[in-house]
Structure formats: structure tokens, C-alpha cells
């Protein structure tokens, strides 16, 4: 599944104007950072041909010393991902739905504002 997150990272960076590159599974130590990461999820549907739809839960974290920038970026990512279906290298995202809309998470001791959101995606890996 790591390949899925790499492909999603590339998809976000190629189709959105973000203030920094997207990190995987955790914010960087920079004062401005965006991260996508995996969360525990359930199994998806298994089909007669032994293909399995995967259910993936994705957390998005956005950090900035400017709270407006952090929130606006989290909202822009939400608008891009929520309710969408798309394909990118090796995967078809059949649906992607927000189940935790962008929200304030914390303000760090370095005055960095962190916002979070979570998504549930149903994906199929393309046959090899």
C-alpha cells in the first residue's frame, strides 16, 4: 500500500498549488508542512475473481505559522479529495469521502497551527 500513498502524493502535488511538497506519514520539522498518512481501516469487498476492493483511511495534516494559510490549505485539499473518484498510476480511486472535515488540531510551542482532516477511499489496484 505504500505505493498508493506515493501515487496520491504525486497526484496532489501535480494537480494542486501547495505551499510545500507533501510528506508521507508525518509532518516535517519545517514551520510549513503538509502530510498524508495511513490510518487503520477495514477490509473492502472481495470479488469472485479474487480481486479485492481496498478501503483506505487517509489523514491529512497541514502546518503553518499562519493559521489562515493552514486552514485554507486544508480546505483546498478537502475540496479536491471529497466526493471525488480518479485514477493514477496503478490505482483507481472509486470514491473518496471526507469523514472528518478540516478542523483545528493544535498550536505548537513554536506557534505553528496544525489542521487535520480524514478521508475514506475505496480503491482498486490495477491488474498487473
Q: pLDDT tens-digit profile of 36-80?
A: 999 877 776 666 666 667 889 999 999 999 999 999 999 999 999
Write the pLDDT tens digit of every residue in 96-116.
Answer: 999 999 999 999 999 999 999
Residue 33, Cβ neighbours under 10 Å: how many? 21
SS (H, E, C) the chain: CHHHHHHHHHHHHHHCCCCCCEEECCCCCCCCEEEEEEECCCEEEECCCCCEEEEEEEEEEEEECCHHHHHHHHHHHHHHHCCEEEEECCEEEEEEEEEEEEEEEEECCCCCEEEEEEEEEEEEECCC
Domains identified in the chain, total number: 1
We report the CATH number of the domain holding residue 65 as: 3.30.2000.30
Q: Model pTM?
A: 0.89
Q: What angle do CA 79, 80, 81 make, to 5 degrees?
A: 95
Q: Which domain holds residue 9?
A: 2-125
Amino acid at each position: 500500500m505504500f505505493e498508493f500513498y506515493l501515487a496520491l502524493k504525486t497526484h496532489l502535488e501535480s494537480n494542486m498549488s501547495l505551499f510545500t511538497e507533501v510528506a508521507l506519514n508525518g509532518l516535517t520539522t519545517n514551520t510549513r508542512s503538509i502530510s498524508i498518512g495511513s490510518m487503520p481501516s477495514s477490509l473492502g469487498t472481495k470479488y469472485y475473481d479474487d480481486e479485492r476492493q481496498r478501503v483506505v483511511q487517509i489523514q491529512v495534516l497541514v502546518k503553518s505559522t499562519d493559521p489562515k494559510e493552514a486552514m485554507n490549505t486544508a480546505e483546498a485539499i478537502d475540496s479536491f479529495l471529497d466526493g471525488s473518484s480518479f485514477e493514477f498510476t496503478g490505482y483507481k480511486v472509486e470514491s473518496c469521502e471526507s469523514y472528518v472535515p478540516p478542523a483545528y488540531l493544535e498550536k505548537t510551542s513554536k506557534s505553528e497551527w496544525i489542521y487535520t482532516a480524514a478521508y475514506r477511499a475505496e480503491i482498486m489496484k490495477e491488474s498487473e
